[in-house]
Structures are given as structure tokens and as C-alpha cells.
Amino acid sequence: MPKRKLIILLGVLFALTLLIPGGLFYYYFWRPWYLAQGFDYPFVVQQWQKEKGNEEQDNPRGKMVRSLLREHHLIGKSKEEIIALLGPPDSTVPCEAPPAKANEFEYILGWYSGFRMDPDFLTIKFDKKGKAIKYYVWQS
């Protein structure tokens, strides 16, 4: 067997020995565990607002964010409407700006995505008229 074919064959075998067990682990262990964590709690306004400034790993906001984004269309809402729904932001951009002058609101969600090594946030961006134009959930 030529040397090049042998190298390709060994590379394929090596890749398969990693991919198959990894795929099985994901499908049978990680995925069911992740789905069983219940990351889709119903959004409750009072509960969300009560958690302002809560930087703990198990902040309930992280479990409610999917429901919030699915049920409440944030795009086009004014800053006042967002504050009425979610309460005052945990932080703003630019930093320490009052909400009326902020370009972005950030809400702490806890430590839910990935391996729970870093906190997650909901960021809402506003245009110059104070209407929400974009939102995203991200991990720091």
C-alpha cells in the first residue's frame, strides 16, 4: 500500500475513533441532560424584575429568557416599554449612563450556556429614537 494511502487511512480511522464516541456521548448523555435542565420556564414579570443585580449561577432569568423572547416581541419597543416589562437594566452602554441616554440595556441571566463557566446576558440595542432594534443573548 502506498505511503500516502496509509496516512489517509490512519487519519480517517483516528477521526472516526474520536467522532463516533463523541457523537454518541453528545446524543445519549449531554443532550438529554441539557434538555432536562428545563431552560424554558414561563416568563413571569415580577420574578424577572425581582432578580435585578442577581449574579448567581442559578439566576431564574436564564431559564425564562427563551419564553420572554418568544412571547414578547422586543423589536420596536421603546426604552420605557422595555423597562416596564423587564425593570431597570442591570447595566447600560455607555457605562453608568441613565437608561434614557443609554444605547444598550444589559440584563444578567445567570450562568446557563455552555459549561456554566461564565455569566450570560441579554443585551437590547436601541436606535437614536429610543426604539429597540436588536437583541441577543451572549456569554461573557
d(CA 28, CA 37): 15
pLDDT at 7: 85
Residue 31, pLDDT > 70, answer no
Closest CA to 128 of 98, 103, 99: 103
Tell me: pLDDT of 55 over 60.
Answer: yes
pLDDT of 46: 96
Could you give the C-alpha distances from 20 to 1, 31, 32, 82, 115, in angstroms and in order?
A: 26, 15, 18, 46, 21
Query: In the structure, what pLDDT confidence band is assigned to residue 114 with cuts at 50, 70 and 90?
Result: low
Cα dist. 136→7, 113, 125 in Å? 44, 13, 9
pLDDT score of 75: 97
What is the predicted pLDDT for the residue at 11?
Answer: 82
| 82-105 pLDDT, tens digit each | 999 999 999 998 887 888 889 999
The yes-or-no verdict on residue 33 having pLDDT over 70 is: no
| Residue 18 confidence (pLDDT) above 80 | no
CA distances from 56 to 5, 41, 60, 63, 108 (A): 54, 18, 9, 13, 9
Is 0.75 surpassed by the pTM of this model? no
Determine the pLDDT at residue 81: 97
